[in-house]
């Protein structure tokens, strides 16, 4: 029972049974976080470096807690306080870090493919914590885990992903994950935010939100990246919100027991109204809890086995 | 492949009923007991022992599962093992914990399970019950209650089948044929 790889860079290249292995191990790790002593000695003596070239609260904290609860030593490097601000290249930075013998480097970078480049240069495992608009595999895994926990089964579910699909690495990883486990995915957003050819990933496209959520078992809202408004992808926040925001009124058009998800951070009142974000269908905080378990599972499966 | 029956269904039942009586005798009743089985089969042995104890003492003995995988000493030396569930039904502080497993062999799993247990609290004492003790200990560990002592060679494999997982109840010893 092991992952067939050194690194976790994306969902696209994972096989179905590898995804299922990560999810099933995470069930046990979730229990560890409920104990009085939230720590197991499994990865004693291993070192994990969190190298974040982009801002993050949830993901970085989650990876750090996951490493610490497995007894690994976790070091955080944020770019503003590092040599990167002195002009060191990405490759030099990671080779210098590797010279200190870490076992795993967790990378977030604004350029798609940066973790893949790093992985080619390092002997240690590399985990992609979000690269540009490409992939965010641990987020997709925790979303799959959360849905599986609630619904028992991913196969056959209808999933609606709504928002800025073009710039969303969460959407891309999730589309791969859901389709691999047999769910039907519909993506929805204004035409300027739907990348051409996204259907080739196996999802359906619509621009009508009511139609997208009508048959959905799960509605996944994406954060409206407000900084994008300058690029003219949508005329105004208010218009976006009225067409693609999830509020109480619109939720009435969805199925009764529909699950609401959001990867955070939430723009309250923009893509999701506060009553819905805090409402009974919302799994937003559950997603955060499960994120730690998923990342413990990733560390266990990447670092806990024999070294080649 | 040579297969030898060690315990049949009746013999397993008798062994468990004797162990249940021994546990009650040694602890002067079921007060303060909690049975924790090591998954997968140790958990089912624990659940059976709990129901035998309950039928003798007319009580409700708590039982649960303790997975030792994350505490093993061969992490990083072998392939990662799948995790099993840990479910400790009540706080174990001040209680008598009887750990239960199907086969006692090197003792390494029991060492790992004891470490896991210590992270949950401080029991008054820990005892060990096993269905089969096959010898070959690598650590100074011994069982308090044994269903059957089976002297084995290292070439043998002891397999415990329980109806909850395997559909049948028996313990067998399997020896792979020597290649000529």
| CATH (domain of B165) | 3.40.50.2020
pLDDT value at residue B135: 95
- Name the average pLDDT for chain A: 94
State mean pLDDT over B102-125.
96
- A68 contacts: CB under 8 Å, gap ≥ 6: A39, A74
pLDDT value at residue B179: 58
pLDDT value at residue B178: 66
Residue B61 within a domain: yes
pLDDT value at residue B1: 83
Is the pLDDT at A308 greater than 70? The verdict is: no
For residue A120, what pLDDT band results from cuts at 50, 70 and 90? very high
Distance (Å, rounded) from C-alpha A188 to C-alpha A243? 11
Gap from B71 CA to chain A (nearest CA, Å) = 6
0.90 exceeded by pTM = yes
Radius of gyration of chain A (CA): 19
Residue B171 within a domain: yes
Contacts of B84 in chain A (CB under 8 A): 28
Strand order in the sheet with A184-188: A204-206, A184-188, A158-162, A218-221, A259-261
For residue A243, what pLDDT band results from cuts at 50, 70 and 90? very high
User: Checking phi first, is residue B172 left (phi over 0); if not, alpha (psi -120 to 50) or beta?
Assistant: beta
pLDDT value at residue A286: 96
Question: Per mean pLDDT, which range of A68-82, A134-148, A276-290, B27-41 is the poorest?
Answer: A68-82
Residue B77 within a domain: no
Enclosing domain of residue B153: 4-72+84-179
Is the pLDDT at A91 greater than 60? The verdict is: yes
- Determine whether the interchain pair A1/B75 forms a contact, defined as Cβ–Cβ distance below 8 Å: no
A110: burial class by Cβ within 10 Å (0-12, 13-18, 19+)? exposed
Is the pLDDT at B180 greater than 60? The verdict is: no
**Structure tokens, B99:** 């750990």
Which of A24, A41, A306 is nearest residue B79 as measured by Cβ atoms?
A306
pLDDT value at residue B34: 97
Is the pLDDT at B119 greater than 80? The verdict is: yes
State mean pLDDT over B157-166.
96
Residue B78 within a domain: no
Altogether, the residues listed in chain B come to a count of 180
Is the pLDDT at A84 greater than 80? The verdict is: no
pLDDT value at residue B51: 97
Distance (Å, rounded) from C-alpha A11 to C-alpha A176? 6
pLDDT value at residue B177: 76
For residue B82, what pLDDT band results from cuts at 50, 70 and 90? confident
- Determine whether the interchain pair B80/A31 forms a contact, defined as Cβ–Cβ distance below 8 Å: no
State mean pLDDT over A122-132.
96
Indicate the number of domains in chain B: 1
Residue B79 within a domain: no
By C-alpha distance, the chain B residue nearest A40 is B70
pLDDT value at residue A150: 95
Is the pLDDT at B86 greater than 90? The verdict is: yes
State mean pLDDT over B53-75.
95
Q: Residues 18..47 of A with a Cβ closer than 8 Å to B: which?
A: 21, 24-25, 27-29, 31-32, 35-37, 39-43
State mean pLDDT over B50-78.
94
State mean pLDDT over A247-260.
95
Query: What are residue A52's DSSP bridge partners?
Result: A78, A108
Residue B67 within a domain: yes
Any idea what the Cα angle at residue A286 is, between residues A282 and A292, rounded to 5°? 155
Is the pLDDT at A169 greater than 90? The verdict is: yes
* Torsion of Cα atoms, A33 then A127 then B72 then B101, to 10°: 60
- Name the average pLDDT for chain B: 95
Any idea what the Cα angle at residue A52 is, between residues A223 and A169, rounded to 5°? 35
pLDDT tens, position by position, A2-37: 788 999 999 999 999 999 999 999 999 999 999 989
Is the pLDDT at A115 greater than 80? The verdict is: yes
- Answer whether B62's CB lies under 8 Å from B35's CB: yes
Distance (Å, rounded) from C-alpha B108 to C-alpha B140? 10
């Amino acid at each position: 029972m092991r992952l067939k790889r050194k690194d976790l860079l994306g969902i696209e290249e994972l096989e179905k049974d590898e995804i299922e292995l990560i999810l099933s191990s995470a069930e046990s790790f979730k229990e560890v976080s409920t104990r009085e002593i939230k720590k197991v000695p499994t990865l004693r003596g291993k070192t994990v470096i969190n190298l974040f070239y982009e801002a993050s609260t949830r993901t970085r904290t989650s990876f750090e807690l996951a490493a610490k609860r497995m007894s690994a030593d976790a070091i955080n490097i944020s770019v503003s306080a590092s040599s990167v601000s002195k002009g060191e290249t990405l490759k030099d930075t990671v080779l210098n870090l590797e010279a200190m013998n870490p076992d795993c480097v967790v990378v977030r970078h604004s350029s798609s493919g940066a973790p893949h480049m790093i992985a080619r240069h390092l002997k240690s495992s590399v985990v992609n914590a979000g690269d540009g608009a490409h992939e965010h595999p641990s987020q997709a895994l925790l979303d799959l885990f959360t849905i599986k926990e609630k619904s028992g089964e991913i196969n056959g579910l209808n999933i609606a992903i709504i928002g800025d699909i073009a710039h969303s690495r969460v959407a891309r990883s999730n589309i791969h994950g859901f389709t691999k486990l047999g769910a039907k995915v519909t993506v929805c957003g204004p035409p300027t935010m739907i990348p051409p050819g996204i259907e080739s990933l196996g999802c359906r496209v619509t621009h009508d939100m009511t139609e997208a959520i009508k048959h959905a078992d799960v509605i996944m809202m994406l954060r409206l990246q407000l900084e994008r408004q300058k690029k003219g992808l949508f005329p105004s926040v208010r218009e976006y919100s009225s067409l693609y925001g999830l509020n109480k009124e619109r939720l009435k058009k969805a199925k009764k027991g529909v699950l609401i998800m959001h990867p955070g951070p939430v723009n309250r009142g923009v893509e999701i109204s506060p009553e819905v974000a805090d409402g009974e269908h919302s799994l937003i905080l559950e997603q955060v809890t499960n994120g730690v378990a998923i990342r413990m599972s990733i560390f266990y499966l990447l670092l806990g086995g024999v070294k080649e | 492949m040579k297969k030898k029956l060690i315990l049949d269904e009746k013999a397993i039942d008798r062994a468990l009923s004797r162990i249940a009586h021994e546990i009650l005798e040694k602890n002067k009743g079921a007060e303060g007991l909690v049975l924790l089985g090591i998954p997968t089969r140790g958990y089912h042995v624990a659940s059976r022992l709990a129901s035998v104890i309950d039928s003798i003492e007319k009580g409700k003995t708590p039982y649960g599962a303790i997975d030792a995988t994350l505490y093993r000493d061969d992490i990083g030396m072998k392939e990662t093992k799948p995790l099993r569930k840990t479910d400790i039904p009540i706080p174990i502080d001040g209680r008598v914990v009887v750990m239960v497993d199907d086969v006692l062999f090197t003792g390494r799993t029991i060492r790992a399970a004891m470490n896991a247990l210590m992270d949950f609290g401080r029991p008054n004492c820990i005892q060990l019950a096993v269905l089969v003790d096959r010898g070959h200990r690598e650590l100074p560990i011994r069982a308090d209650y044994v269903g059957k002592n089976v002297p084995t060679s290292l070439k043998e494999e002891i397999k415990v089948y329980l109806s909850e997982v395997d559909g049948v109840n028996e313990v067998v010893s399997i020896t792979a044929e020597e290649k000529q």
